[in-house]
Structure formats: structure tokens, C-alpha cells
Amino acid sequence: MFLHVKRVSHIKEYVLRIEFTDGAIKDVDLRGELQGEVFEPLRDPSFFGRVKINEETCTVEWPNGADFAPEFLYEHGTDVKQVA
């Protein structure tokens, strides 16, 4: 089974809350991952907050085309406890 991003929301600064297609919900802090030319604009928190899901690739993406693989996000995320 392929892992995809189902929902994303910008929580704070460089942290995203991501729901994956396997049902997991994780908070992912990308502060230490914004290296390189394509990620430079994401260092601006207001630009970072413009994250969305690319419907074709099924992962997070920003207006400049920067993205992260769902597997990378899953591995680097912290599980969020669900309240029933």
C-alpha cells in the first residue's frame, strides 16, 4: 500500500499536522529540513503557512513547488493522540 497525505494544516512556525491515508495523524516539525534553494522561501513562516496538498502527488506542497515525500513526513512525525 502506498502512503499518501490526506489532510494538512499549519499548526505553528514550521510544524504541520498531517493525516495520512493509513489513518495516522502526526505533527511534523520541518524547521531543520529547510535547506537548499527550493526550501529557502519556506523559512518565512507566512510562506510556510501556505502549504497545501498536491492532488496529483498526494503530498504536501508549497506555491514554489517545494515538497516532501509522504514517507519522509511519516518517519519524521510525532504521533498525535486522538480524543474520542
Three cell numbers written together for 55: 492532488
Residue 73: closest CA among 42, 32, 39, 30: 30
Domain range list for the chain: 5-79
pLDDT score, position 1: 65
**pLDDT tens for the chain, residues 1 to 84:** 689 999 999 999 999 999 999 999 999 999 999 999 999 999 999 999 999 999 999 999 999 999 999 999 999 999 997 655
Sheet holding 15-20, edge to edge: 5-12, 15-20, 25-29, 78-79
Q: Helix, strand, coil: what percent of the chain each, to 5?
A: 25, 35, 40
What does pTM read for this prediction?
Answer: 0.91
CATH number of 5-79: 3.30.2020.10
